[in-house]
């Protein structure tokens, strides 16, 4: 168990949930209901949701309540994010969402074993806790946050391990975007297998 959270996945620590527009990666621009789970030990120093790290301060929520709230919105797409959502058994939650015809997108560092049934997996590997090998073949997109020059080499390390159809994205870390975006542009022009992902929700002031 993680902070007395049941291993059967019947209760999950929900930090927040909200209906919005996906701002980054492959599904950027699409309406989706976000479920942000609390709890993360990956420890990115530039994380913009550090309040998600401590699972114990977020209410344990029955999965049926989570599903009922998701069904209140027009889009039948759900993004499960965190924190690090794979700290928990996501099989019951994804099964319940699937029963109601909802598409499910996962955002994860891949640092823990995969559980659940997803339509799309965004793998965003972090140097602080590397992803597990099992997630590489099933990732739909590889999204690497570029904070400094060494992150390009880090990105190529995992590009060599994901499946051939996996979309490859380089995304500037928000606080370093003025410095790193020109470098990303130059890199993508020289290495066109990569694409640029931007945090468009921040430009548009969308939650």
Q: CB of 163 within 8 A of CB of 139?
A: yes
Show me where the domains of the chain are located.
11-203
Which pLDDT score, from 0 to 100, does residue 204 have? 65
What's the chain's Rg over C-alpha atoms? 17
DSSP codes, 98-110:
HHTT-EEEEEE--
For 10, other C-beta atoms within 10 Å of its C-beta total 14
Which pLDDT score, from 0 to 100, does residue 130 have? 92
For 103-131, letters b (16+ CB in 10 Å) and e give: bbbbbbbbbbebbbebebbbbbbbeebeb
The one-character DSSP state at 194 is: E
Which pLDDT score, from 0 to 100, does residue 1 have? 42
**Dist. CA 57–CA 39, nearest whole Å:** 9
The domain over range 11-203 is classified in CATH as 3.40.50.2000: no
- The whole-chain average pLDDT of the chain stands at 93
CA distance to 23, 58, 75, 91, 120, per residue, from 27 (Å): 8, 27, 13, 22, 9
In 71-199, alpha helices (H): 91-99, 150-159, 177-190
167 phi, psi to nearest 5 deg: -75, 140
Which pLDDT score, from 0 to 100, does residue 203 have? 63
Q: CB of 91 within 8 A of CB of 117?
A: yes
157 phi, psi to nearest 5 deg: -55, -45
Residues 136-184: pLDDT tens digits? 999 999 999 999 999 999 999 999 999 999 999 999 998 888 999 999 9
Which pLDDT score, from 0 to 100, does residue 3 have? 55
How does pLDDT run along the chain (207 residues), one tens digit per residue?
A: 455 889 999 999 999 999 999 998 999 999 999 999 999 988 777 777 878 889 999 999 999 999 999 999 999 999 999 999 999 999 999 999 999 999 999 999 999 999 999 999 999 999 889 999 999 999 999 999 999 999 999 999 999 999 999 999 999 998 888 999 999 999 999 999 999 998 776 666 676
């Amino acid at each position: 168990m993680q902070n007395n959270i049941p291993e059967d996945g019947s209760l999950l620590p929900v930090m927040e949930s909200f209906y919005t527009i996906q701002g980054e990666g492959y599904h950027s621009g699409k309406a989706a209901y976000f479920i942000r789970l609390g709890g993360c030990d990956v420890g990115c120093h530039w994380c913009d949701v550090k309040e998600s790290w401590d699972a114990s301060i977020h209410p344990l929520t029955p999965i049926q309540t989570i599903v009922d709230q998701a069904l209140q919105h027009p889009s039948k797409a759900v993004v499960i994010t965190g924190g690090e959502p794979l700290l928990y058994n996501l099989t019951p939650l994804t099964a319940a969402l699937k029963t109601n015809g909802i598409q499910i997108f996962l955002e994860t560092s891949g640092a823990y074993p995969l559980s659940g049934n997803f339509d799309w997996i965004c793998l965003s590997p972090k140097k602080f806790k590397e992803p597990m090998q099992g997630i590489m073949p099933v990732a739909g997109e590889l999204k690497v946050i570029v904070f400094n020059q060494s992150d390009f080499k880090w990105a190529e390390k995992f590009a060599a391990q994901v499946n051939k159809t996996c979309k490859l994205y380089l995304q500037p870390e928000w606080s370093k975007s003025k410095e790193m975006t020109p470098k990303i542009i130059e890199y993508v022009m020289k290495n066109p297998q990569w694409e640029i992902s931007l945090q468009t929700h921040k430009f548009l002031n969308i939650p």
